[in-house]
Structure 1
Amino acid sequence: FLTWVILGSFEITVGDSLIFSKLQCGKFPESDAVVRQISAISCGQNPETVTEYEKSSCTVL
């Protein structure tokens, strides 16, 4: 018997591009990775999904 609990969403979009979804991965992003990705997009690079996550095993909501 499995029970799924969704503890909230944390989605980051730039324009129409979703670059991070807590709903999809179940974790929070590493903040420096988000900043690097937004910086790269602002310099003209194509948006990419942030795949680096917080290293903490404890999340306070």
Structure 2
Amino acid sequence: MLAYFYFVACIILGSFEITVGDSLIFSKLHCGRFPEPMAVVNQISAIASGQKPETVTEYEESSCVLL
């Protein structure tokens, strides 16, 4: 049982970062959630079009329920 809780904690606390070039546009360690996928796509498209990189601030709704 303890191994199960350790596994869940690793998933919840694990890092997930997205960088474009040298710019960090999302960090799960910083906000504790995953980004909204289309927000990431839109930000990468904007950067490819020449816009300044910005941090993605839209988050995916959590489907995880801990009891």
Q: For this structure pair, what is the TM-score category when the shorter chain's length is used for normalisation?
A: 0.7 to 0.9
Bigger radius of gyration, 1 or 2?
2
Q: 1:49: Cα distance to partner?
A: 0.1
Which structure 1 residue ranges, 4+ long, deviate > 4 Å from structure 2? none
Q: Secondary structure at the match of 1:12?
A: strand
Q: Secondary structure at the match of 1:48?
A: coil
Residue 25 of structure 2 corresponds to which residue in structure 1? 19
AA aligned opposite 1:28 = F
Residue 52 of structure 2 corresponds to which residue in structure 1? 46
- CA RMSD for the aligned pairs? 1.7
User: Unpaired runs of 5+ in structure 1?
Assistant: none
Structure with higher RCO (Cα < 8 A, 6+ apart): 1
**Distance in 1 separating the partners of 2:58 and 2:14:** 19
Q: Secondary structure at the match of 2:19?
A: strand
Residue 29 of structure 1 corresponds to which residue in structure 2? 35
Higher share of residues assigned helix: 2
Count of matched residue positions in the alignment of Structure 1 and Structure 2 = 55
Q: 1:56: Cα distance to partner?
A: 2.5
Q: Secondary structure at the match of 1:52?
A: coil
Q: 1:50: Cα distance to partner?
A: 0.1
User: Unpaired runs of 5+ in structure 2?
Assistant: 1-8
